Amino acid sequence: MFCRCAAYVFFGPRVTFSISGKSRCIVPHSSLTMPRLPVLDILHRTVVYSLAGLTAWTVVSAVMIHRETLQKGRDLVARIEAEERQKQEDMSNGSANASP
């Protein structure tokens, strides 16, 4: 039998059984109220989560920029190779026409 109060959510199944067989919580209900968070704690959490988000955004941006740079490099190499092939074909066609 599980305790159906908020203590079960926070503290787990810490229940005792009375003689009548009904369950009751070990933790009194008055201790279940959450204290207010101090302003410094809220500010600290804000800074930590903001920095975590900024770090994630930076990593994703860096990966995207890296992939884009690699693709531009591949395109440049392909263009240079195509120009070199074109020059080789022009030279071979030019020398073949000049020979006869």
Is 33 contained in some domain?
A: no
Model confidence at 26: pLDDT above 90 = no
Q: Which structure tokens are listed for 62?
A: 């860096």
76 with 47, same domain: the answer is: yes
42 with 78, same domain: the answer is: yes
Q: How far is CA 15 from CA 6, 10, 53, 79, in A?
A: 12, 13, 40, 75
Is residue 20 classed as helix, strand or coil in its secondary structure? coil
At residue 93, the pLDDT reads 84
Model confidence at 100: pLDDT above 90 = no
Look up the pTM and report it.
Answer: 0.50
Q: Which domain holds residue 44?
A: 38-100
pLDDT digits (tens, 9 = 90+) for 34-51: 678 889 999 999 999 999
